[in-house]
């Protein structure tokens, strides 16, 4: 809850008192903090924000950030590698197509089509 409250405060750029008031008023912020249901009462006093900041020093926040960001970084790296693999695969396919075109004889001449149509009627149909 402490980390969530500090994130809300920094993201919204508001005072400690305003942070507690925003949390009290908005169910989605309460959900973000891990509360299981909405309450119109403040989950803590604004003075607790000072204690939160003292407990969550820069080193702890840095470790938390690493734990949050690391899976995301790994996911992005994997996505980049997959895109690179697909790009290399497409380049290989284009190279094969180009080689095939170079080795195949080019078409020459003209194509003539006959569009003759015959309509047959059954002797009993009118």
Angle CA 25–27–28, to nearest 5: 120
pLDDT of residue 125: 59
pLDDT of residue 35: 93
95: left (phi over 0), alpha (psi -120 to 50) or beta: alpha
Domain boundaries, the chain: 2-91
Please tell me the distance from the alpha carbon of residue 31 to that of residue 8, in angstroms, as a whole number. 12
Alpha-carbon torsion, ordered 8, 13, 19, 25, to 10 deg: -80
Please tell me the distance from the alpha carbon of residue 96 to that of residue 100, in angstroms, as a whole number. 6
Chunked into runs of 10 residues, the chain (126 residues) has average pLDDT values of 89 93 95 93 93 84 78 80 85 77 72 72 65
pLDDT of residue 100: 72
Angle in degrees, 0-180, between the axes of helices 48-55 and 16-25, rounded to the nearest 10: 100
Alpha-carbon torsion, ordered 7, 10, 12, 16, to 10 deg: 90
């Amino acid at each position: 809850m402490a980390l969530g409250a500090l994130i809300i405060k920094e993201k919204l750029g508001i005072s400690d008192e305003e942070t507690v008031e925003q949390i009290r008023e908005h169910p989605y912020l309460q959900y973000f903090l891990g509360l299981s249901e909405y309450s119109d009462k403040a989950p803590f006093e604004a003075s607790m924000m000072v204690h939160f900041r003292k407990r969550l020093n820069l080193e702890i926040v840095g470790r938390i950030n690493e734990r949050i960001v690391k899976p995301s970084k790994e996911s992005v790296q994997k996505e980049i590698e997959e895109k690179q693999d697909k790009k290399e695969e497409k380049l290989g396919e284009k190279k094969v197509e180009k080689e095939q075109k170079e080795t195949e004889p080019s078409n020459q001449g003209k194509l003539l089509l006959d569009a003759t149509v015959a309509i047959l009627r059954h002797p009993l149909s009118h």
